[in-house]
Amino acid sequence: MKKIYLILFLFIATITLIAEMTQKELEDAYNSSIKYETGQKYDKAISALGKVIKEYPSGYTVNYRLGWLYYLSGNYSNAQKHLETALLIYPYSVEVLNTINLINVAKLEWEQVEIQSVKVFKIDHYNYYANYWYSVALMKQKKYDAAIKIADKMLAVFPTNVVFLNILAESKFLKGEKDEAMLIFSSVIILDKDNELAKYYLGR
């Protein structure tokens, strides 16, 4: 019986080795995919990874990349499927969680953006993208006090970041604290003289 199991194991292992792609095949597939993505030919970029996903259906890298490419192409259901597969492999992958959030943003599902951002905060409290989209989601829902808290938190570690300065200023303006908002927008112009949002509010 042990001999039969050994033969069966060796047979399966041999098939697996045969099925695996060579290093060059993998390199060519990913390089081709990246090249097509650069040219915004997302369907071809996805097709270039066809053999890779077939050989490694549970692979993290290929599922993450396909999730990203399907997101770029606007196929959110397929993007979600691949990203969730990648998340099964690395449950704490911030890059996957943030990409799932981009799908929520594209669908204007602001409550889901909040929920997804909180998942990232539990892993990386100061994650730039999660904090940015969280604050945007709060503003979209007119939760200005909460958006101000996020902006203050991020400005404590990125004091001259014009993105969060703008979020702070706009949230204060929409809340009714216009004088303070204008002072912040004036600071933004000093840091970034062509900042469109600051110029818009200062020109009102």
131 to 57, 107, 127, 191: CA distances (angstroms): 32, 18, 6, 21
Summarised one tens digit per residue, pLDDT across range 20-58 is 789 999 999 999 999 999 999 999 999 999 999 999 999
Q: How many CB atoms lie within 10 A of CB 112?
A: 16
Minimal CA–CA distance to 139: which of 157, 113, 121? Answer: 113
Q: How many CB atoms lie within 10 A of CB 189?
A: 14
pLDDT over 70 (residue 115) = yes
Angle between helices 60-73 and 94-106 (to 10 degrees): 20
| Angstrom distance (rounded) from CA 10 to CA 128 | 48
Summarised one tens digit per residue, pLDDT across range 138-192 is 999 999 999 999 999 999 999 999 999 999 999 999 999 999 999 999 999 999 9
Domains of the chain, start order: 142-204 (1.25.40.10)
